[in-house]
Amino acid sequence: MLIRMHAARLALATALLLLAGACSSSTDEPASQAAVEQSSATTATSPTTAAPTTVPPTTEPAGAEEGTASTNSVPNHPDALDESEALPTCAESGQFTATLAVGGAKREVQIFIPSSATEDAALPMVVNWHGLGSTGPDQAGFTAYEELAETEGFIVVHPTGDPGIAGRNNWEFGALDDPTKDDVAYANALLDAMIEKSCADAQRIYSTGMSNGGLFTASLVCELADRFAAAASVAGVSHPDDCSPARPVPFIAFHGTDDEVVTFDGSTGGGALFSEVMPDEFAEFAADFGCTEEPVVVDLADDVVRYDYQGCEDDVPLSFYEITDGGHTWPNSPLAAFVEGSLGRTTESVDATADAWAFFEQHTLS
């Protein structure tokens, strides 16, 4: 198992080095589709990522003890799953590659179920969306979510997007509306399938992602607030003009001040893809949820300032993490050294995987 893990990590690191010079112009996520070797559709394997740093102390979610089943009915959605292949059952554990078809389009998803899984208990689940031009396995390697899922006992899924009219794997959000597909319908169907077949707990499902995946996570806060218990965007957050969440959603975001792909201040020079000001976009979610206008400023480290919004409806927490001199990166990524030359500096003062999970597990839908 260790040999396989190291080989997969080496493959991803090699791909990062080969693609480093083109990342800012051709993708917003530093890896190619061939970077991580996928398992077969029916064979479970161990996680292929490096172990993250020590997980900070966490709080058990109110009313949802780890390892206990919760009300887990699947909503009746009009955009239902057409078919699925090789979704793991509740009794299986390890890493799987499955295919889901929604609206006639088939897409792969990498699924990891921890060894602690049993047939008798639904588990929390994190959906981790990749960046533009990347894949689910790339995102798994870059964020080390599968190792954390094994340690903490939750399911994590890494879907791979459809290229659509953009020509590169992507997820729709406000500025990227693709009439040839419906990624929100896909997200809905993915959740339904995982709840029904793989024992994901419908009350404890969380969304995260980097860059395009972070922007898509923000869109899901707007459109699927009744399905995700909490969310975390990394290196990309956008508030669509028509955003109207069904409920206040616990939400955090991480962004580097020196990000040159999705810029912090909305400047559009170089390879920047968008002109939105990241703190302002996040503040619009705070306004949606009735929070006080001025956040409380917390100096977490020499290079990290957190802005906590207060007085939000239902007392939901909203926090924006400003990473001083941070690039277009995933905080504390195990592969940070391989992207520093092309995507900028990665902080180790916060961890967008472990810290987000610590945030997630405090929240349930009911």
Whether residue 281 lies inside any domain: the answer is yes
Whether residue 366 lies inside any domain: the answer is no
| Residue of 219, 190, 362 lying closest to 284 (CA atoms) | 219
What's the pLDDT tens digit per position in 242-301? 999 999 999 999 999 999 999 999 998 666 677 899 999 999 999 999 999 999 999 999
Sort strands 251-256 and 230-234 into parallel, antiparallel or unpaired.
parallel
Whether residue 111 lies inside any domain: the answer is yes
Average pLDDT (228-241) is 97
Are the beta carbons of 201 and 72 closer than 8 angstroms?
A: yes
CB neighbour burial string for 319-344, b if at least 16 within 10 angstroms, e if fewer: bbbbbeebbbbbbbbbbbebbeebbb
Three-state secondary-structure class, residue 352? coil
* Residue 24, φ and ψ in degrees, nearest 5: -70, -20
Whether residue 365 lies inside any domain: the answer is no
Indicate whether this model's pTM tops 0.85. Answer: no
For residue 353, name the pLDDT band (cuts at 50, 70, 90).
Answer: very high
Whether residue 123 lies inside any domain: the answer is yes
Q: How far apart are CA 319 and CA 128, in angstroms?
A: 19
Whether residue 76 lies inside any domain: the answer is yes
CA separation, residue 284 to residues 239, 279, 293, 328 (Å): 7, 9, 10, 22
pLDDT at 111: 97
Whether residue 49 lies inside any domain: the answer is yes
Number of folded domains that form the chain: 1
What's the pLDDT tens digit per position in 177-193? 888 899 999 999 999 99
Containing domain of residue 225, as a range?
2-360
Average pLDDT (151-157) is 98
Answer whether residue 7 shows pLDDT above 70. no
Q: What is the CATH number of the domain that holds 101?
A: 3.40.50.1820
* Cα-to-chain-centroid distance, residue 195: 18
For residue 87, name the pLDDT band (cuts at 50, 70, 90).
Answer: confident
Non-local CB neighbours of 106 within 8 Å, separated by 6+ positions: 99, 100
DSSP state of 22: G
